[in-house]
Amino acid sequence: LIAFFQKKILAGKRVLITAGPTFEAIDPVRGITNRSSGKMGFAIARAAIEAGAQVHLIAGPCDLVTPLAATGNIIRTDVVSAKEMHAATLKEHDYDIFFAVAAVADWAITKPAKEKIKRQGNQAPALEFTANPDILLDVAKTVKTKAGKPYPYCVGFAAESTDLQAHAQEKRKRKGIPMIVGNIAPNTFDSDLNQLLVIDENGNKKMPQAEKLQLARQLIQLVAKKI
């Protein structure tokens, strides 16, 4: 596989990736977030650079080292909230592939408190939520056709607790994207291993359990053929 990448199948291509969770503040010391280590998104960034791409990695709060930083072929933008991730992503233009790997919080606290909320005996505060923008959906709306192919080529991810295939397929259609990738194994959150179901216009393809980096390399091969 490494030999394969010596062919630099993404040479001259620009790849945008969101990775990790987002964090929505309740007050200065509390918040809500989604479970995500960022490992899959960072592995895709590494595999894309290996394949010769220029990568912009937009990362939510996660404790990972920027992959292959010494190559100079990666720019990393750290963000906290979904709104920040949305703004950083939609600011980008003219890239070939978008991988939406981030586990984006679907809701933000409408009015985060400026000061720490103090306990009121046994009474819990009532929190009001506002829907966050859908980053992938908004990127998908900007897709044009270039040499008969979608530009950028958008790849979504789906973590489901039930009915992976049906939910993932529904998401692919709802978001108007050509490819969605589902995590088959239920608890891959902090794992170095994963097992994927790739759904595109041709149907489903299983990628058996492997290191996230190996899966990322396989995914890069698949997507490189699409563009």
| Catalytic site positions | 34
Cβ closest to ligand CTP, residue 18 vs residue 54: 18
Contact with Ca ion (CB under 5 A): which of 28, 106, 141, 166?
106
User: Distance between CA atoms of 178 and 102, rounded to whole angstroms?
Assistant: 18
Token pair recorded at residue 162: 């039930």
For the CB of residue 73, give the shortest distance to Ca ion in the complex, in Å: 30
Told to check if 170 binds Ca ion by CB under 5 A, we report no
Cβ closest to ligand CTP, residue 5 vs residue 104: 104
User: Distance between CA atoms of 91 and 125, rounded to whole angstroms?
Assistant: 36
| Residue 134 interacting partner from ligand CTP, Ca ion, none (CB closer than 5 to 8 Å by kind) | ligand CTP
User: Distance between CA atoms of 151 and 77, rounded to whole angstroms?
Assistant: 22
Instruction: Give the alpha-carbon dihedral of 106, 203, 37, 114, to 10 degrees.
Output: -10
- In the Cβ-directed half-sphere of 171, how many Cα atoms lie within 13 Å? 22
| Residue 171 interacting partner from Ca ion, ligand CTP, none (CB closer than 5 to 8 Å by kind) | ligand CTP
Site string for ligand CTP, 71-90 (x = CB under 6 A): -----------x--------
Q: Give alpha helix (H) positions in 101-161.
A: 135-140
What residues make contact with Ca ion under the rule CB under 5 A?
A: 106
